[in-house]
Every structure is written in C-alpha cells, then in structure tokens.
Amino acid sequence: MKSRLKFLRAIRVIFWWVTQAGVLLLLGQCDPAQGRMEGAALYRVHCANCHLEEGQGLGALIPPLARSDYLAAHREQLPCIVRHGLKDTIVVNGTQYAEAMIGIETLSDIQITNILNYVHTSWGNNLPPYRLDEVQQLLKQCR
C-alpha cells in the first residue's frame, strides 16, 4: 500500500512539473520578443533560401518581402500561402512573379504567426502583427 501511495505521489509531482512547463512554454509563445526571435530563426531555415536573408527576393524569380506591397494587400491569404504554398502569378511592387512557392505543412500555427510577424516588422515593413487566433481562423479558411 505504501509503495502505491509513493507511486501516486510521484505521478502527481511529475504531472505538476509537466503542467508548469507547459504553461511556461505557452507564456513564452505570447512574449513578442520571444516570438520575434523564433520568427527570425524559422525565417532563416524555411524562407531565406529563396527570399534571401534581408527579404530582398531573387530578381525576377522570387518576390521581395522587404517593403512589399503584397503583404498588406493580401494579409488574409498569407497564413495559407506559408502553409500550403502558392502556384498563381502575383504582382509585388509592380513586378509580376510566376515561380511557384512550396508550402511548409509541418509548421505549427504559432510558428506561422511568428514568421509572419517577423516579416511584417523587418526590412522596412511596418505592418500590424497577427494574433494567433487570427492565424488559426485564416488557416481554417484555406482552400
């Protein structure tokens, strides 16, 4: 009986620590500075290969994200573009781009939010941030 009580106490302590760690993780995701750092790191891994380190794009092939008029004009579509990609011809800052963009299906909603907020506040962009619930709602509407 005593060993069972010790076991149950140990489980309760482990559960408490896991719960506390989960709360801290969630709170960390709500911290704008933490989200920006994660967004920058994710951008470097997933986006910079094509859009380049400073978001300048690649000539007539890959559109710029720096000072991009497309970002503000297509705010509602951007989460879906990050997750599912884009195969349409688009116009960015007066230049037409037809190169397909692959999506990144493995990114979480939080990661997509952090990437978009990083892009929206970098390289001369000064756009309003996304909220996680907004990105989640927009992702539900993807076609």
Cα distance between residue 70 and residue 106, in whole Å: 24
Same domain, 26 and 48: no
- Counted domains in the chain: 2
Amino acid, res. 7? F
Domain span at residue 11?
1-30
The yes-or-no verdict on residue 23 having pLDDT over 80 is no
Residue 33, pLDDT score: 76
Same domain, 88 and 121: yes
Give the predicted TM-score (pTM) of the model.
0.76
Same domain, 75 and 20: no
Q: Identify which of 55, 33, 56 has the alpha carbon closest to the alpha carbon of residue 43.
A: 55
The yes-or-no verdict on residue 24 having pLDDT over 50 is no
More confident residue, 67 or 35: 67
Note the maximum CA span of the chain.
76
More confident residue, 32 or 87: 87
Number of other residues whose CB lies within 10 A of the CB of residue 42: 19
Same domain, 65 and 127: yes
Same domain, 16 and 37: no
